[in-house]
Amino acid sequence: MHVPDGFIPLWQCAVYFLIIIPFVYLSLRWAEKELDERKIPILGVLAAAIFAIQALNIPIPWGTSGHMVGAAMAAIIIGSPYAGILLLTLVLIVQGFVFGDGGITALGVNIFNMGVISSFVGYYSFKAIKSIKIKPMKDSNTHLMIAAFIGAWLAIFIPAIACAVELWLAGTFPLIQGLLLMGIYHAVIGIVAEGFITATVVVTIATYRSDIFSDKKDRTLDQAVSA
């Protein structure tokens, strides 16, 4: 899903950088107010895990790639989409500047897709599904696992579709072929990797380390980033 340099015109790259600025700013404000000695270690572990899983790239024809993202997992565990945005921003900056994975000029679009879209879609999909009362799964690990799995699947599939549209808008690749290639690859990755791993990690942490699992606390944007 990393868009390389040269795939997006520079003026469009500038637009994506402008779009992500407020989200990155709000994620920094969130970190300033919400991170404490309990969350900082798990945030560091999640950052290392996301960096590692994104290194496993599956080539997709005509230049881009498919892989896990990890933003939904971070957002769900920490309890805010801004955690996912913050971590993905840091990971993508290191990947782009140090390892050449993704482009420098395309950094804005990559953060937008894998940080902003993935975090918000994954976290709020999880919250919405988790809030549905399903008997006899109410308050069970099965319900939690299903919510985390679907949230993580959507968190990789929707950004992949967005990436295909962005490449089409850039004149780089036809829309239908892009939707098919990016959609099918990431739909499969979302099932066999992103969804399964995220659901497993979320349920494990909720079961054995409920003290660091933030699902019970759902602070609003105003509470999290207000001055």
14 token code pair:
């500038």
Residue 220 scores a pLDDT above 90: no
What mean pLDDT is reported for the chain?
85
pLDDT tens sequence across 89-132: 999 999 888 877 778 999 999 999 999 999 999 999 999 998 88
Residue 217 scores a pLDDT above 50: no
pLDDT score at 67:
76
Higher-confidence position of 54 and 150:
150
pLDDT score at 153:
96
| Confidence band, pLDDT 50/70/90 cuts, at residue 209 | confident
Q: Is 100 helix (H, G, I), strand (E, B) or coil?
A: coil
pLDDT score at 214:
60
130 token code pair:
């988790």
Q: What b/e readout covers 158-168, taking b as 16+ CB neighbours within 10 angstroms? A: bbbbbbbebbb
pLDDT score at 139:
53
| Confidence band, pLDDT 50/70/90 cuts, at residue 9 | very high
* Distance between CA atoms of residues 99 and 116, nearest Å: 22
pLDDT tens sequence across 173-196: 999 999 998 898 889 888 888 899
pLDDT score at 135:
65
* Distance between CA atoms of residues 138 and 65, nearest Å: 38
Domains belonging to the chain, first-starting first, are 10-225 (1.10.1760.20)
pLDDT score at 81:
95
**Of the given ranges (7-11, 47-51, 163-167), which has the lowest mean pLDDT?**
47-51
Q: Which of 79, 78, 82 is nearest to 29 (CA)?
A: 82
Q: What percent of the chain has pLDDT over 90?
A: 53
The mean per-residue pLDDT over the stretch 48-52 comes to 86
Q: In this structure, what are the phi and psi dihedrals at residue 99, rounded to the nearest 5 degrees? A: -110, -5
**Of the given ranges (20-24, 181-185, 205-209), which has the lowest mean pLDDT?**
205-209
Residue 26 scores a pLDDT above 90: yes
